[in-house]
């Protein structure tokens, strides 16, 4: 019996001690103690976003409880602040910005649109709860701090996202919004890198590099130079970037908004700057095809100038370009601009005239961005959609642009309407790759001019060794080939009839489907 009671006493003592330890680690009591404890006021603890929970003054019977986010305050690291109060109970104005001074537990705010105000500051619960006392009316305001996004969630929200610059706060109360009419700035996140795409009046500057994140401080190792920012993801769709200069925060910050595509007004001038070959011009009263020996090319420069290359008359000679609300604004020196809508679908450039300054309203200009060096020494390459033949006789070269027909199984090229113009015509079997003058139904004739012969007409004769041979075409809808041999003179200013001349040349013609109308081979883009 004695031995049992001897063992019971230590057990009871242990239980009493265990019970006491539970009371000492009571979480509710711990929280009350932390909440009652005043934390020394420091600037680092004040910075952040605060949401008011309640307020009362000495005359109130009970406190006013605020709904979520109805009263907010943000203390920024550059000693500026913003307040938002939809109730007009806690703060005098519904919305204001300004600067502040913090001295010990005294906070003096200088709003941009009101008189200065003084508060006594008490920070509690590890700096997460803020008590503001306004001595002027003995009002007490209680706020809690919103926690910033953790790094994992921030990375998840930024992953493969596109952001559009919406504006910049230059100074307290001074916010410069992006007009989104001419200039657009984007940032894009992919992997551990950030890409910047800045478009100033159509001229684009791109930079990219890896982003090293240490809490809210970002080091962007961009190709254009290393830059540092204080990043703040306010919510899932709003990002704020503070530029850091020598580790110090600027008074201004950039505000970006998440977007899911480029702005409707944003024109990517990379598709237009350079040499745009004129394909055709559709005007209300007529249609001009710029392939059959005539051209009207625009060269848009990054200096906002336009150079025109043309052999046509009666077309506008433009001088410069700009952008305006999603329109290309072209101009002639000393005159107001004309606005044109831009469509670059399918790699083609199509411009629609909205106003009638130089082109009648409703005019459509079809163009293709090309490398002009391709046809610098080969002028016919400019007309890649036209059908033509190039012939060289006695060192003189003639070019023939024509409309082509496909009659049954043959290419038939008909002469043009005017007898005074140069013409060419031939009839070829489409099922064969080589055509010789000795073959049945072979026909080849043309009109030309040379220094030795003057004006002449020449036609193939049987067994005169004229050969037309198809070659491989990169475009299956176009037949290309070579001509070589001799043909007989029908008439000439300075040659006998039936005499022969040697020639060489090349041809290109667009194949047509049997169901196509027997007209021009050129189709609009």
Q: How confident is the model at residue 421 (pLDDT cuts 50, 70, 90)?
A: low
Mean pLDDT lowest for which of 154-163, 173-182, 402-411?
402-411
Cβ contacts of 352 within 8 Å, gap of 6 or more: 340, 341, 343, 362, 363, 364
Check pLDDT > 50 for residue 2. no
pTM flag (> 0.75): no
Backbone angles phi, psi at 307, to 5 degrees: -110, 140
CB 327 within 8 A of CB 321: no
The gap between the terminal CA atoms of the chain, to the nearest Å, is 110
| Span 464-503, pLDDT tens digits | 788 988 888 888 778 888 999 998 999 899 888 888 889 9
β-strands 184-190, 162-171: how paired? Answer: antiparallel
Give the pLDDT confidence score for residue 3 in this predicted structure.
Answer: 39
Give the pLDDT confidence score for residue 36 in this predicted structure.
Answer: 65
β-strands 106-111, 117-124: how paired? Answer: antiparallel
CB 390 within 8 A of CB 399: yes
Which of residues 314 and 22 earns the better pLDDT score?
314
Q: Which domains does the chain have, with CATH numbers?
A: 35-145 (2.40.128.270), 151-259 (2.40.128.280), 269-374 (2.40.128), 385-510 (no CATH)
Q: What percent of the chain has pLDDT over 90?
A: 39
Cβ contacts of 246 within 8 Å, gap of 6 or more: none
| Span 80-129, pLDDT tens digits | 899 999 998 888 888 889 999 999 999 999 998 888 999 999 998 888 99
Mean pLDDT of the chain: 83
Angle at 351 between CA 508 and CA 353, to 5 degrees: 130
Instruction: Choose the most confident range, by mean pLDDT, from 24-28, 391-395, 415-419, 432-436.
Output: 391-395
Check pLDDT > 70 for residue 6. no
| Span 39-69, pLDDT tens digits | 888 888 898 899 999 999 988 888 999 988 8
Which residue reads 């642009």 in tokens? 401
Distance CA 318, CA 316 (A): 6
Q: What percent of the chain has pLDDT over 70?
A: 85
Distance CA 429, CA 272 (A): 42
CB 142 within 8 A of CB 52: yes
CB 425 within 8 A of CB 413: yes
Retrieve residue 396's tokens: 């003189």
Which residue reads 């679908």 in tokens? 345
DSSP state letter for 171: E
Give the pLDDT confidence score for residue 415 in this predicted structure.
Answer: 45
Q: What is the pLDDT averaged over residues 206-233?
A: 92
Distance CA 56, CA 389 (A): 93
Which string of DSSP letters, residue by residue, matches 42-96? -HHHH-EEEEEEEEEETT-SSPEEPPTTSEEEEEETTTEEEEEESSSSSSSSSEE
Angle at 441 between CA 439 and CA 445, to 5 degrees: 100
| Span 250-301, pLDDT tens digits | 668 999 999 999 999 999 999 999 999 998 888 888 887 766 678 899 999 9
Backbone angles phi, psi at 207, to 5 degrees: -145, 155
Distance CA 395, CA 400 (A): 16
Which string of DSSP letters, residue by residue, matches 315-329? S----EEEEETTEEE
CA atoms within a 13 Å half-sphere pointing along the CA-CB vector of 17: 6
Following CA atoms 15, 18, 24, 25 in sequence, which dihedral angle do they give, to the nearest 10 degrees?
Answer: -140
Q: How confident is the model at residue 150 (pLDDT cuts 50, 70, 90)?
A: confident
- Reduced 3-state DSSP string for 126-140: CCCEEEEEECCCCEE
Distance CA 326, CA 17 (A): 78
Q: How confident is the model at residue 322 (pLDDT cuts 50, 70, 90)?
A: very high
Q: How confident is the model at residue 208 (pLDDT cuts 50, 70, 90)?
A: very high
Which of residues 8 and 311 earns the better pLDDT score?
311
Give the pLDDT confidence score for residue 19 in this predicted structure.
Answer: 42
């Amino acid at each position: 019996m004695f031995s049992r009671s001897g063992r019971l006493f230590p057990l009871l003592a242990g239980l009493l001690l265990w019970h006491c330890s539970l009371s000492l680690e009571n979480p509710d009591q711990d929280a009350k103690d932390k909440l009652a404890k005043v934390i020394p006021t420091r600037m680092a603890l004040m910075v952040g976003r605060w949401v008011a929970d309640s307020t009362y003054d000495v005359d109130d019977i009970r406190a006013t409880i605020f709904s979520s986010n109805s009263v907010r305050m943000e203390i920024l690291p550059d000693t500026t602040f913003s307040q938002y109060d939809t109730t007009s109970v806690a703060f005098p104005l519904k919305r204001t910005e300004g600067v502040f001074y913090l001295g010990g537990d005294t906070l003096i705010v200088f709003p941009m649109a009101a008189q200065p105000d003084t508060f006594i500051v008490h920070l509690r619960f590890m700096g997460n709860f803020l008590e503001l006392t306004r001595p002027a009316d003995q009002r007490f305001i209680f706020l809690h701090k919103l926690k910033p996004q953790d790094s994992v969630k921030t990375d998840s929200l930024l992953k493969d996202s596109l952001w559009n610059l919406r504006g910049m706060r230059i100074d307290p109360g001074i916010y410069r919004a992006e007009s989104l009419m001419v200039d657009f700035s984007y940032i894009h996140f992919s992997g551990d890198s950030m890409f910047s795409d800045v478009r100033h009046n159509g001229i684009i500057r791109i930079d990219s590099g890896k982003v090293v994140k240490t809490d809210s401080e970002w080091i962007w190792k961009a190709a254009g130079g290393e830059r540092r920012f204080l990043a703040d993801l306010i919510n899932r769709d709003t990002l704020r970037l503070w530029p850091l200069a020598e580790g110090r925060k600027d008074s201004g910050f950039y505000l970006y908004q998440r977007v899911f595509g480029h702005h409707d007004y944003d024109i990517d001038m990379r598709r237009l700057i350079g040499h745009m070959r004129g394909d055709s011009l559709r005007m209300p009263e007529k249609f001009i095809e710029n392939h059959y020996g005539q051209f009207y090319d625009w060269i848009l420069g990054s200096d906002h100038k336009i150079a025109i290359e043309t052999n046509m008359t009666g077309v506008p000679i433009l001088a410069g370009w700009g952008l305006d609300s999603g329109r290309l604004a072209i101009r002639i020196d000393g005159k107001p601009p004309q606005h044109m809508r831009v469509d670059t679908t399918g790699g083609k450039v199509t411009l629609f005239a909205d106003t009638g300054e130089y082109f009648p309203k409703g005019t459509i200009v079809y163009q293709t961005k090309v490398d002009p060096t391709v046809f610098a020494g080969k002028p016919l390459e400019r007309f890649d959609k036209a059908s033509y033949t190039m012939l060289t006789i006695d060192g003189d070269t003639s070019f023939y642009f024509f409309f082509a027909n496909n009659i049954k199984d043959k290419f038939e090229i008909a002469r043009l309407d005017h007898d005074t113009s140069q013409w060419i015509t031939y009839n070829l079997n489409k099922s064969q790759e080589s055509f010789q003058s000795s073959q049945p139904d072979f026909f080849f004739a043309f009109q030309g001019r040379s220094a030795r012969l003057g004006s002449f007409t020449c036609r193939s004769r049987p067994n005169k060794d004229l050969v037309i041979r198809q070659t491989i075409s990169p475009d299956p809808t176009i037949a290309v080939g070579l001509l070589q041999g001799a043909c007989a003179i029908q008439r000439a200013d300075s040659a006998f009839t039936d005499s022969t001349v040697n020639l060489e040349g090349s041809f290109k013609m667009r194949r047509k489907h049997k169901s196509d109308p027997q007209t021009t081979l050129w189709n609009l883009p």
